[in-house]
Amino acid sequence: MKRPRKALLRGLLGLALLGIVLALADPARVMTTFRQANPGWLLFGLAAGIASNAISALRWRALARWLGTELSPRDAQRWYFQSMGLNALLPGAVVGGDVYRAVMLRKAGQNALASTWSVILDRASGLWMLCVIGGFGVVLCAGVLGAVTHLAPAWLAALALAATLAWLVLPWLLPRVLRLFPGRRGGWFDPLRAVADRPDFAAQVATQALMSAVVQILSATALAAGALALGVRLSPAVWAFAVAPIFLMAALPVSVGGWGTREAAAVASLAPFGVAPAAAVGAAMIYGLYGLLQGALGALAFGLPSSQSSESAPFP
């Protein structure tokens, strides 16, 4: 199947899923929920979302520079928010924007492999920390989730804690893993081997972990604020659990900007805590609108991608 057809199919699949979720949640109730939204919480959530992505851009810059590329703070912010605009408009969730960032870094004269790895590791860093937070959320919500999974809460908490701690230390084991597979010089993994042998490897991983934790906490705050605007009040522990499936589903390359998959995940993950489908869909849609607004603001503040740059990026 040709790429344009694949892109169209992904977009239609996401929109179809969103339509199904809306139908199940009752569109009238969703609209009623939106009309009652609190403007103050909506603005607070938008501010948290902007802060989250501004720090994400700085995290990417720190990682890119560590890999040996030059990237100014302004270019990091500009390309990151431009990529958000592309993510919101193109099928494939975060894939299109990630490709764009790597292409722009290469077009600036930086090493192609290092540029690509900077984006891959930046995305992996965020997803890694998201799973860590979600794992701790399972531990804290084991009482409720145990009834859903038919597992004793103590066993569920113990299993989740063990898996989360193992996942947490995984990045620090990268040097040992690379030594098991030496490979040849000039290969795809050369940038990783170079940084894994540096004495500051552990410190850089810790820096990435800290920045990714701040990013995910701010993103969770944005989602929770959107829910608060609709009258949904949940504990931080619930949000720690719920953000993992919601954000992971939104990142799947099967929709446009995560629409449809994000809302379906919100309904499924918040239902055990008594959140009505209409409210869950509304909170997820508000978070999606935050992304659209940030993409538009990024385009206004930093300029739209040039047509030459856009054509150079091999979007799926």
- Residue spans of the domains in the chain: they are 7-301
Q: d(Cα 110, Cα 181) in Å, to the nearest integer?
A: 27
* Tens digits of residue pLDDT in 83-140: 887 776 665 555 667 888 999 999 988 888 899 999 999 999 999 999 999 999 999 9
Is it the case that residue 254 has pLDDT exceeding 80?
no
* Tens digits of residue pLDDT in 257-275: 778 889 999 999 999 999 9
Among 120, 85, 116, 90, CA closest to 103: 116
Among 285, 246, 294, CA closest to 266: 246
Are 268 and 162 in contact by the 8 Å Cβ rule? The answer is no
Is it the case that residue 280 has pLDDT exceeding 70?
yes
User: How high is the mean pLDDT of the chain?
Assistant: 84
Q: d(Cα 284, Cα 270) in Å, to the nearest integer?
A: 11
pLDDT score for 316: 29
SS3 256: strand
Q: Which amino acid is residue 192, in one-letter code?
A: L
Is it the case that residue 249 has pLDDT exceeding 80?
yes
Work out the pLDDT band at 53, boundaries 50, 70, 90: very high
Are 11 and 315 in contact by the 8 Å Cβ rule? The answer is no
Q: Is the pLDDT higher at 157 or at 294?
A: 157
Q: Is the pLDDT higher at 302 or at 155?
A: 155
Is it the case that residue 165 has pLDDT exceeding 50?
yes
Among 104, 94, 96, CA closest to 247: 94
pLDDT score for 314: 33
C-alpha distances in Å from residue 196, one per residue of 166, 192, 211, 220: 20, 6, 19, 31
Least confident of 119-133, 189-203, 240-254: 189-203
pLDDT score for 10: 56
CB neighbours of residue 32 within 10 Å: 12
Least confident of 241-250, 282-291, 305-314: 305-314
Q: Which long-range contacts (CB under 8 A, 24 or more apart) does 83-88 make?
A: 84/53, 84/291, 84/294, 84/295, 84/298, 85/295, 85/296, 85/298, 85/299, 85/304, 86/295, 86/305, 86/315, 87/257, 87/291, 87/295, 88/256, 88/257, 88/291, 88/292, 88/295
Q: Is the pLDDT higher at 94 or at 213?
A: 213
pLDDT score for 59: 95
Who contacts 9 (Cβ-Cβ below 8 Å, separation ≥6)? 1, 91
DSSP letter at 151?
A: S
Percent of the chain whose pLDDT exceeds 90:
49
Alpha carbons within 13 angstroms on the beta-carbon side of residue 299 total 15
Residue whose pair of structure tokens reads 């408009």 in the numeric block:
89
C-alpha distances in Å from residue 297, one per residue of 50, 81, 95, 126, 216: 10, 8, 20, 22, 21
